[in-house]
Amino acid sequence: MSMINYASREINCKLVYYGPGLGGKTTNLEHVYNKVAPASRGKMISLATETERTLFFDFLPVDLGTIRGFKVKFHLYTVPGQVYYNASRKLILKGVDGVVFVADSQIERMDANIEAMQNLYENMTQHGYDVTKIPFAIQYNKRDLPNAAPIPELQTALNPGWPVTDPSKQRVTPDPYHDSEYLVRQEDGQWVERAPYFEAVALTGEGVFDTLKAISKNVVKTLG
């Protein structure tokens, strides 16, 4: 849930980067942090475990404008990738406004991706959130590696879609990020919606801001 700071005239929104261990969540945040103007960002906080780090920082985008006179500030978080730290994952999801699932494209990491996605759904449900109703995007990272799984294979495993029960949303909706693809369409007589997805190489920054801009815009839409 976004928080309004009347003193600073800011709406604070929380974005959480979720996914398997070593999939690229931390690399995403580090790239964003290094590219954002220092005057627009807060300090990056790092909580280290033996195998992973949880990062978070806030920043004020300059290109999103204002909502009823309020600026929108985003607080970006990563979760630990290891299932061992599930209590921390769950805690970080509390009050979330948008989620980016960072999948590791390597074929041998498919099971870890599926496990992390199932874990996300479970933790969201325990908080009373519906991942199909909040801003949600999937980033397929490490697309530069020779053992990267084909996008259709990743989509089938991680983004098969969910039924659209709201009649007002039962209409063909093109995917604005991919030509000839759809976010909502009929399949076997049933309306199905998929999360928007992005291809990335977080180490070089490719796809990082495309993902962030898309999830940010969708969060802002929910504030209007």
Q: Render pLDDT for 90-138 as a digit per residue (tens, 0 to 9).
A: 989 999 999 999 999 999 999 999 999 999 999 999 999 998 899 999 9
Q: Do 51 and 26 meet the contact criterion of CB atoms below 8 Å apart?
A: no
Q: Do 213 and 30 meet the contact criterion of CB atoms below 8 Å apart?
A: no
- What pLDDT score was predicted for residue 63? 65
Overall average pLDDT of the 157-173 stretch? 96
The H or E element spanning position 26 is helix 25-35
- Which superfamily, per CATH, for 3-146+196-223? P-loop containing nucleotide triphosphate hydrolases (3.40.50.300)
Question: Which residues have CB under 8 Å from 175's CB, separation 6+?
Answer: 181, 182, 183, 196
DSSP one-letter string for 89-145: HHHHHTT-SEEEEEEE-BGGGHHHHHHHHHHHHHHHHHTT--TTTS-EEEEEE-TTS
With cut-offs at 50, 70 and 90, classify the pLDDT of residue 88.
confident
Q: Does the pLDDT at position 82 exceed 80?
A: no
Reported pTM: 0.94
Residues of the chain with CATH 3.40.50.300: 3-146+196-223
Least confident stretch, 3-12, 38-47, 95-104: 3-12
Q: Does the pLDDT at position 51 exceed 70?
A: no
Alpha carbon distances (Å) from 194 to 123, 131, 137, 189: 20, 11, 9, 16
- What pLDDT score was predicted for residue 66? 74
Q: Does the pLDDT at position 176 exceed 90?
A: yes
| Structure tokens belonging to residue 181 | 């693809």
Rounded to whole angstroms, the Cα distance separating 176 from 119 reads 28
Q: Within 13 Å and on the Cβ side, how many CA atoms surround 24?
A: 30
With cut-offs at 50, 70 and 90, classify the pLDDT of residue 83.
low
Q: What are phi and psi of 201, to 5 degrees?
A: -130, 85
Residue with tokens 């980067």: 17
Q: Does the pLDDT at position 142 exceed 80?
A: yes
Rounded to whole angstroms, the Cα distance separating 101 from 197 reads 9
